[in-house]
Chain A
Amino acid sequence: MMKIMLRIFLIIALLSPSLLWAEEATDSRKEIEELKSRLEVVEATKEKEIEELKSRLEVVEATNEDVEDRLSRLFTLSGYADSEYIIDDRGGKSDGFKIHHLSLFFKKKISDKWKLFSELEYEYAPKFESGVAQGKIFVEVFTIDYNYNHYINIRAGRYLTPVGIWNVEHYPPFVSTQERPQHIRKIFPQISDGLQFFGTVNLGKIVTDYIAFISNGSDDLVNGISDSGSGDDNDNKAVGGRLKFKFPLLSTTELGISGYREKDNFDAEVNASGLDLSLQWKRLKFQAEYAAGSYDVATGTDYDRKGYYGQLSYGIADLDLIYRYDWYDADDTVAKGDKTINSVALNYHFTPSVVGKVEHHVNDYEDSAKEDYDKTVFSIAVYLGD
């Protein structure tokens, strides 16, 4: 009996943990099943939330693209403004402030291929009142571009004559001095009304930009009356162009060759050519331009006009130090007709769009009968852009 009792006790003792474990295992399975079903619910909820977020993101992206597209098709307004204080040594010239430019640029991307660009310039704070006018309002640029591809583009309208560097890149926030080199606008006209063909062709590692244009030409280029752009009233159209080679040397190495030919309203035939060079190594920059024009005039003596400048600048942080040597001869048949200007300048870039300048120009005439003079200009120029 004792033996039976002992066996039963042993069996119970051996089985009881197994029973307990079995019970625990059943509980765990239940818990696992419960957790699984809860996880499925959570996953389903998450998936729903993810889908909702994805569809909201799609809506936001579509809206964003729509807004970007609409913005790109709106008129873009930009421009620049500058103000100066000028100290001029010449007798009869008083020192003073000058509200020089306020120029507004309107751009519109009509489509991927078509683009409109214009510049409306207000010079010397124009005012028209009671029949008295001061200052100047001037449509300096108005062009419609058709961009076929980067090899061939067509531009029609009024444009800055695309010759040399300074004739195009002349805006105060981005040039070193308010005073431009002497020969600029005197050999090639400032603006032209006509048609341009332009593009870019890569010759190996050399990037070549070309521009060929046909335009009305000047009214009276000999006397420098070419600003109207539409004053030319003969059938002889002006033709010209520029080739710019960009070499893979230094930070910048660009060489430009320009040519221009026209007959003005007074039958003066002008054949002009120019060379320009831009170099940059780190913060050291060199820019030079040379231009020469042969004038075959209807009455009087034919003559040549020449000019060049070389400009060196060095940047230290936001400050640029500039020196320029500038020479010009308006008429080679006139003895002692040259004029030389040595200029030093400081440009301080408060931001990429705001520059403060101080420039001093020492003007020397070859003809000692003419009075040499100095000119100092303090200025601030602001680019109103994107």
Chain B
Amino acid sequence: MKIKILIFLATSVFFLLSSSSKSAIAEEIAVVVNKDNPVETLSLEEVKDFYKNNVLTWSDGSRVVMYDLPVKHEVRKVFSVVLLGKEAKEVAREWANKKITNTAKNPPFTLKSEVLIQHKVSKSVAAIGYVRKSKLSRDKVRVVAVIK
């Protein structure tokens, strides 16, 4: 019994020591939609509802197409923590769990870069994404919310 407890404690210490700290960006994040989308502004609560699948459609009934950055992307890390209240890795695990159990309603599509997100958003009226303000191409997309 003592040996088991020791093994358990040793494993705990190993895992704790292996845990890494996080870094973050200090820049505003713009939530963007297609220029033809009639929505002018969104509250952060509304953006959160889309990304948490609490709301699945725009007011005209069309399905929301959400774009996300990769889990390791610094902007995704900030977006997850500030808006969704969870770390990006945890949110990724939740989506994977939903996909594996066939219960995912409307998962976001992951794209590699902010440039690609803006390109995709500019091509679909139902799309929504997020980029750093410094990476914004205002001729392509419209800002509907800002995460500070």
In the bound complex, residues from chain B placing their C-beta under 8 Å from that of A171 are 97, 100-101
Of residues 244 to 286 in A, which have CB atoms within 8 Å of B's CB atoms? 246, 248, 251, 280, 282
In the bound complex, residues from chain B placing their C-beta under 8 Å from that of A372 are none
User: Among the listed B19, B92, B93, which residue makes an inter-chain contact with A316, where contact means beta carbons less than 8 Å apart?
Assistant: B19
Is A143 part of the binding interface, using a Cβ–Cβ cutoff of 8 Å?
A: yes
Closest to B56 in A: A150
In the bound complex, residues from chain A placing their C-beta under 8 Å from that of B20 are 317-318
Q: In the bound complex, how far is the Cα of B20 from the Cα of A353, in angstroms?
A: 17
Is A315 part of the binding interface, using a Cβ–Cβ cutoff of 8 Å?
A: yes
Q: In the bound complex, how far is the Cα of B97 from the Cα of A383, in angstroms?
A: 9
User: Among the listed A169, A352, A374, which residue makes an inter-chain contact with B101, where contact means beta carbons less than 8 Å apart?
Assistant: A169
Is A297 part of the binding interface, using a Cβ–Cβ cutoff of 8 Å?
A: no
Contact mask for chain A residues 128-161; partner B; CB cutoff 8 A; 1 contact, 0 none: 0000000000000101000000100000000110
Is B103 part of the binding interface, using a Cβ–Cβ cutoff of 8 Å?
A: yes
Is A306 part of the binding interface, using a Cβ–Cβ cutoff of 8 Å?
A: no
In the complex, the answer to whether B8 meets A360 with C-beta atoms within 8 Å is yes
**Chain A residues with a Cβ closer than 8 Å to the other chain, count:** 45
In the complex, the answer to whether B92 meets A207 with C-beta atoms within 8 Å is no
In the bound complex, residues from chain B placing their C-beta under 8 Å from that of A317 are 19-22
Is A348 part of the binding interface, using a Cβ–Cβ cutoff of 8 Å?
A: yes
In the complex, the answer to whether B4 meets A376 with C-beta atoms within 8 Å is yes
Of residues 87 to 120 in B, which have CB atoms within 8 Å of A's CB atoms? 89-90, 92-93, 96-97, 99-103, 105-106
**Chain B residues with a Cβ closer than 8 Å to the other chain, count:** 36
Q: In the bound complex, how far is the Cα of B57 from the Cα of A200, in angstroms?
A: 12
Closest to A112 in B: B63
Is B18 part of the binding interface, using a Cβ–Cβ cutoff of 8 Å?
A: yes
In the bound complex, residues from chain A placing their C-beta under 8 Å from that of B92 are 352
Q: In the bound complex, how far is the Cα of B13 from the Cα of A319, in angstroms?
A: 10
In the bound complex, residues from chain B placing their C-beta under 8 Å from that of A202 are 54-55
- Rounded to whole Å, the gap between the CB of A174 and the closest CB of chain B is 4
In the complex, the answer to whether B16 meets A385 with C-beta atoms within 8 Å is no
- Rounded to whole Å, the gap between the CB of A320 and the closest CB of chain B is 9
Q: In the bound complex, how far is the Cα of B9 from the Cα of A344, in angstroms?
A: 11
In the complex, the answer to whether B93 meets A174 with C-beta atoms within 8 Å is yes
Contact (A315, B56) CB under 8 Å given A143-B102, A348-B15, A353-B96: no
In the complex, the answer to whether B12 meets A346 with C-beta atoms within 8 Å is yes
- Rounded to whole Å, the gap between the CB of A176 and the closest CB of chain B is 12
- Rounded to whole Å, the gap between the CB of B113 and the closest CB of chain A is 15
Is B38 part of the binding interface, using a Cβ–Cβ cutoff of 8 Å?
A: no
In the complex, the answer to whether A87 meets B4 with C-beta atoms within 8 Å is yes
Closest to A352 in B: B92
Contact (A117, B102) CB under 8 Å given A246-B54, A316-B16: yes
Closest to B12 in A: A346
In the bound complex, residues from chain B placing their C-beta under 8 Å from that of A376 are 4, 7-8
Contact (A174, B4) CB under 8 Å given A150-B105, A200-B105, A282-B85: no
In the bound complex, residues from chain A placing their C-beta under 8 Å from that of B90 are 315, 352
- Rounded to whole Å, the gap between the CB of B55 and the closest CB of chain A is 7
- Rounded to whole Å, the gap between the CB of B43 and the closest CB of chain A is 13
Contact (A80, B100) CB under 8 Å given A251-B85, A282-B85, A316-B19: yes
Given A159-B102, A282-B85, A349-B89: 16 more A-B contacts, CB < 8 Å: A78-B100, A105-B100, A150-B63, A168-B101, A171-B100, A200-B56, A317-B22, A318-B20, A319-B19, A351-B89, A352-B90, A352-B92, A358-B11, A358-B12, A385-B96, A385-B100
Closest 4 CB pairs of A and B: A317-B19, A174-B97, A352-B92, A348-B15
